[in-house]
Structure 1
């Protein structure tokens, strides 16, 4: 059986252009509202040319989500069990906030998928994501049991970090409407660091 040829530079460039355009379209229109024609136009390709790389809208969406999910899990993977507990949790919060600032399209795409019931990533949520969260919750519980950080519900701690940080991407229009010309990310890091330091500092160290 002949070996599959490595993609050419043009093929890699076109595939990357399609996925970037799809990210734009899916994050603004949602899966149902997006069309292959819109994605092709945004990518600067003809529809037949796009379909050479991806046979359907579903295939494009699956490729974008696969690329996104690995990126999405990286900040939590980086939480180091051997690190200083409070600083590790704050660093995780800062990484998530930076993602909201630098990757707003990805955040909105993920939010759209979840709001629709996660039909295309439910298996990943209940396997890869759950396993990673369970692993890090065990680390956080060990820190709490050792008295290194205050006792709080570890799962809801992670949920709160997700909610607070991703809000700046998913509700960007609302945030900017309220703040006006102020950069949403100017004061957010200091506010969240103060919030979590007060929450997680043990009472005898406060």
Structure 2
């Protein structure tokens, strides 16, 4: 008799916003959205270190990071359409959690949609030996093109993951990443970048 499939990771909600990831190995934050929607969503991570340094790991600017060396956070690919069954995945090396002050996972619409309301997007966080968690991006207000999804901090024996689900709309004077940076006090310097046309 085949083994039953494991239950899906629990959903983090406003009533139950926190999860704990323990152990070693690789933490994964996976973004998936409806393949029938012609939209380019991007998963990224703002990384802050205790010495005051930090950076963004994201497809824009080809800042894909590295898992085995600094910054110990890496993005696997840039899914431009949602057609990839694997979506986009950020990986964090749990052997180096003491090197992090905090990480902010975020998602934004690069092109192809005016907001998240019809995209069916979900971020799922998993790690070896942990139940993980899911954060559906299904409560977008009209016009919101970016979401600060989860704030991750070192905790005893691993990481704490707290659902944020904080939405952002376009502003003429600030890029989306700058808005999230200012909202969470990372203090990074930003330069303009674009991605190639989807053809």
Higher relative contact order (CA 8 A, sep 6+): 2
- Normalised to the residue count of structure 2, the TM-score between the two structures is 0.30
- Normalised to the residue count of structure 1, the TM-score between the two structures is 0.30
Q: Please identify which structure carries the higher strand content.
A: 2
